[in-house]
Amino acid sequence: MAIARREFLRLAGLVAGGAAISACSPIYRELSGLPRTITGWQPIAASDFRVLSRLSYGPAIEEREQVINMGWKAWVEYQLAPEEIEDEGVRWRLRSYDSLELDADALALREQEEVSLDLQRGALLRRVYSRRQLYERMVEFWTDHFNISILKGDCWFLKGIDDRQVIRQYALGNFRDLLWASAHSPAMLVYLDNQANQGQAPNENYARELMELHTLGVEGGYTQQDVMELARCFTGWTVKDHFWKGEFRFNGDIHDQGSKVVLGQRIEPAGQHEAELVLEQLALHPATARHLSRKLLRKFVTEEDRPELVESAAQTFLRTRGSIRATLGHLLEAGLQDPGAKVKRPVDFIAGGI
């Protein structure tokens, strides 16, 4: 989701202005779910503050009090179950941005700038006000991992649906489900040109990104031949352009009907099912487990190399059949005992200062 520096600062200003107004409003505190009384700025241990700084967008008083009272490990467990955390205040704040809930047909009729800004404003508001701070961090993580630019083709209105139905739905769920949803996402197919992937002229963009960035990693053991064969599997995976505009469609007429071999597995002609067989294999591949564990380590714990921690997290991923919640929980419990250096993004300072 690309955003210019000047536009980012303008959005931050809008959020900051809203914060100042809401601070004077009793209804906001009632709707936000924040405690009715604040006990004050209690001192917090440096190690606890560091955990909050890593896993939130700037520790608010409520988060500080929670960690002081329950300890950071219990707070992490609490945050790992976002479905149990009431967050009505964020829903109330997002009520003006109705485009965040529309389907592709309706969004395509809106102004591009309005739809794009609503998506960006919504993301910033959630980072500032959500009580599900670790969940929002994971939304950010997967948004980066399954990167889609709103500047590419119809992605300006398709990305919001991807955000809602792919990233936000599975951010702390099962990686296989997340990968599956992403592969069938019209925004992803358009962004990586798979809607133009035809049997007579295969387009390798999505197949390459799927292996190199989304699953195995650049050192994951695949070859150029694997990329070419996987691209053939994905021929015919496209997006509706007229009725039900912006929905996934498999077009068998432009699918390569021949057999393929991907990562040593022979794929017999089976239409849409061919690529889905490979998705199942990639989702639980040991190289995928290590690649994701390494990225999670760098996001939340340290940018230093910790091969033993990566390996233990990868084993948790494989043992739990791709549970994001379990893998992240293991990584945080083991890694945050002795975290290394981390660099913060500008958005962290903006969100944390509002």
Each residue's pLDDT tens digit, 189-226: 999 999 999 999 999 999 999 999 999 999 999 999 99
Separation CA 12–CA 125 (nearest Å): 9
Among candidates 224, 223, 149, which has minimal Cα distance to 188?
Answer: 149
What is the chain's mean pLDDT, rounded?
89
Taking residues 76-98, report their average pLDDT.
Answer: 95
* Torsion of Cα atoms, 138 then 220 then 179 then 161, to 10°: 70
For residue range 148-164, list pLDDT tens digits in order.
Answer: 999 999 999 999 999 99
d(CA 149, CA 192): 10
Confidence category of residue 59, pLDDT binned at 50, 70, 90: confident
What is the distance between the alpha carbons of residues 99 and 120, in angstroms, rounded to a whole number? 12
Please list, in sequence order, all residues whose beta carbon lies within 8 angstroms of the beta carbon of residue 322, skipping any fewer than 6 positions away: 174, 175, 176, 283, 284
Instruction: Give the residue, 238 or 34, on which the prediction is more confident.
Output: 238
Neighbours of 249 (CB within 10 A): 15
